Structure 1
Amino acid sequence: MLNLIRNEWMKLWAKKGTWIMTVLLIACVIGLMALTKWINNQNTTEHTDWKANTQEQLQYTKEAIELDLPEMEREQNEETVKILEYRLANDIPPLAEDGRESLIINPVGIGSLVVLLTVIVAAGIVASEFSQGTIKMLLTRPVKRWKIMTSKYVTVLLFGVLLMFIGFAVTVICAYILFPAGAGQELKLDGNAVVPVSVWGHGLYMLVLAFVNVIITATFAFMIGSVFRSNGMAIGLSLFIFFTGNMVVLLLSQYEIVKYLLFTHMDLTMYESGSVFVDGITMPFSLAVLTVYLVIFLLISYTVFTKRDITA
């Protein structure tokens, strides 16, 4: 199995397109960081009193709690109140928005870029065998078909992992070059206690949450490419669910069925950003739903590939 994975990995990096996608990722991350720096320079103003801003946010959040809100939103607001009160009582300012720590602790954008690039690889890693006419030679080798599929799928996941860490590394390098060190501390509620958040730990945690979206979307593209043997269809459908998922969730947010849709749970970073739009869902529930979809996608992929007529 390890030899199969190594061969698939070498075959992937032998393609010019793989190197182009990697360079494109690096260029996009550098461009986003440079754009962020430019925007910060354009918006340079006198620093406002963080205590006044925090007090204003605290008052606004307390007023929101008095409204008739869904239970989940009410709990999020109550947590925010505890953190803001703790910040004021202990004189702990928030992280500076123009500091490098703010970019490291929440490396936004990397996950979306990696999804787009990994989908291209996942869609074509099986479908290209048919389009290039190498499928017959591949399937006549004395290797079980499920092992061939596993080696290709693992290669896709490894490619996604590599891109995530490349994107994060470039983000950190740009943050240190372009942005100054900032003051302040990020806080979170752990049980009933407010505790500080590690910049590096939280940044890597956000990468892990974002990578779940990469896994699900890439597996869907892998399934479509394996079943229909079409790169274009796999890429098109995968990007369609990636870009329209949030819209579908918002349209169906009043219905119970939305809790069981794939789109609702793909972006697990919502639990850290406080942007959960569907009441009654939790991180464990989202992971359970995503696991079910993942198993279904893989079962379809493996079943079709292992039973497909070799002369097809």
Structure 2
Amino acid sequence: MFNLFRNEWRKLWAKKSSWILLLIAVVFAGLTAWGMHGLGTGINSTVTSDSLSGASTGAKAFLTIFSSGSSLVSIFAIVMTAIIITEEFAKNTIKLLLTRPYNRHQILCSKFLAALAYLVVSLVVVYLVAILFTGAFWGFGGLNKVVDHGMNTWLYGLVTIAIYVLGNLFYLSVVFVLAAGMRSQGLAITFSILLEFVLSIVTQLLTVLMVNKQWWWIKWNPFNLMSYNPLVGNLKGMPAAASLSGWGWAIGLIIYIAVFYFIADYIFNRRDVSLS
């Protein structure tokens, strides 16, 4: 299984698109830092909680830079996930894979782990780039000060990475379902990217419905869990019945990720490779 994962990992980074997309995210984060510093604009702290209002300028700058780069990483991880699944059928290499001593469950699992690893590595790279630009423009001193929840900026950023990883894993599991059943690589990528934007609209509509109808159980829908950030907490004025906790958020997302992954596994295992 490890050899299969290593093979998928190498194949993923052998693609020029993997490097190009990561480079775009890094450049975008750098441009965000340069723009804020060069234009002398205020640091936007909307990506953080209100308790960060007293945080240092460097800390707020770091979080804004990291948020700008990680937003692209989320989209690019979706693209690469769709590619690594559909290309096996598009290039007809799935038949070669099946001649090796691996079953389809193992093949799909190795691709899921490779997609997860790509997401984590990309976020860590953006995290390091955000630190470097913050230090270059605003100094590293502010990063050592406590930001929120008793954490300094370094630790706060690492926890944010963990939150982004879990949240994006839900998207990736849904992409696995779409890609496992599609033959067109272009369609799989297009639908996967559109999915992220559509879900944001659905989340807002469901939130309005939940509050107006007082259907508090709607808070457990996966779209609402995706929009929740444990570090930021619940929205102001949100009724207690509609509020989420950090543990509830994490357990709920893990359950949804598992459900969609097993659906993708079911589709992938019953797909007819003779038509590839």
TM-score higher than 0.5:
yes
| 8 A Cα contact 2:147 2:156, kept in partner | no
Aligned residue in 2 for 1:36: 36
Following superposition of structure 1 onto structure 2, how do residues 111-122 of structure 1 map, counting pairs within 5 Å? 111-122=70-81
Aligned residue in 2 for 1:24: 24
1:263 aligns with 2:217: no
1:169–1:42 distance in 2 versus 1, CA, 3 Å:
closer
| 8 A Cα contact 2:5 2:111, kept in partner | yes
Aligned residue in 2 for 1:126: 85
SS in 1 for 2:244: coil
C-alpha deviation, 1:124, in angstroms: 1.2
Aligned residue in 2 for 1:238: 192
C-alpha deviation, 1:43, in angstroms: 5.7
Following superposition of structure 1 onto structure 2, how do residues 146-225 of structure 1 map, counting pairs within 5 Å? 146-180=105-139, 181-182=141-142, 185-188=146-149, 196-225=150-179
Residue identity opposite 2:225 in structure 1: H
Q: Given the two structures, how large is their TM-score scaled by the length of structure 2?
A: 0.82
Aligned length: 257
Deviations 1:221-257 (A, max 9, x none): 1221112233333333333332233332222223225
Aligned residue in 1 for 2:59: 101
Which structure 2 residue ranges, 5 or more long, are not aligned? Answer: 44-48
| 8 A Cα contact 1:145 1:306, kept in partner | yes
| 8 A Cα contact 1:210 1:268, kept in partner | no
Q: Given the two structures, how large is their TM-score scaled by the length of structure 1?
A: 0.73
1:306–1:248 distance in 2 versus 1, CA, 3 Å:
closer
CA RMSD of aligned residues (A): 2.7
Following superposition of structure 1 onto structure 2, how do residues 66-85 of structure 1 map, counting pairs within 5 Å? none
Deviations 1:172-204 (A, max 9, x none): 00111111344975354xxxxxxx432211121
1:310–1:105 distance in 2 versus 1, CA, 3 Å:
closer
Identity %: 25
1:288 aligns with 2:251: yes
Cα distance in 2 between the residues matched to 1:252 and 1:299: 25
1:43–1:207 distance in 2 versus 1, CA, 3 Å:
closer
C-alpha deviation, 1:42, in angstroms: 4.8
C-alpha deviation, 1:289, in angstroms: 2.3
C-alpha deviation, 1:105, in angstroms: 5.5
Cα distance in 2 between the residues matched to 1:6 and 1:43: 44
1:138 aligns with 2:97: yes
1:204–1:151 distance in 2 versus 1, CA, 3 Å:
same
Which structure 1 residue ranges, 5 or more long, are not aligned? Answer: 45-76, 85-92, 189-195
| 8 A Cα contact 2:25 2:70, kept in partner | no
Cα distance in 1 between the residues matched to 2:205 and 2:267: 34
| 8 A Cα contact 1:94 1:185, kept in partner | no
| 8 A Cα contact 1:212 1:268, kept in partner | no
Residue identity opposite 1:211 in structure 2: V
| Higher Cα Rg, which structure | 1
1:11–1:203 distance in 2 versus 1, CA, 3 Å:
same
Cα distance in 1 between the residues matched to 2:123 and 2:148: 25
| 8 A Cα contact 1:4 1:148, kept in partner | yes
SS in 2 for 1:252: helix
Deviations 1:123-167 (A, max 9, x none): 111111111122222223232121111111111111111101000
Cα distance in 2 between the residues matched to 1:162 and 1:202: 17
SS in 2 for 1:266: helix
Bigger shift: 107-116 or 120-129? 107-116
